[in-house]
Amino acid sequence: MPDQSQPQLYSRAASGDEAAFGQVYTLLAPAIYRHAFFRVSDQKAAEDIMADTFCKVWEYVAAGKAVG
């Protein structure tokens, strides 16, 4: 159930706000993990995919690239 403050949270995270990015991680990590696990059927691989996803997003944010 989306919260009305989520767009602002995503915007803050995309602007480089580390605390907001941490909150986005907390909100989205379980869903990303489930999706990855569904695709690869391997717990460790799904965890790696999830971690790589967030690392790549943070690299884009840090480089000032658009995310989304």
What residue has token string 């919260």? 3
* H, E, C per residue of the chain: CCCCCHHHHHHHHHCCCHHHHHHHHHHHHHHHHHHHHHHHCCHHHHHHHHHHHHHHHHHHHHCCCCCC
Tens digits of per-residue pLDDT, 17-42?
999 999 999 999 999 999 999 999 99
For the chain, the structural domain boundaries read 6-62
Quote the mean pLDDT of the chain.
89
Residue-level pLDDT at 41 = 97
Taking the C-alpha atoms of residue 47 and residue 44, their distance in angstroms, rounded to an integer, is: 5
Q: What is the pTM of this model?
A: 0.80
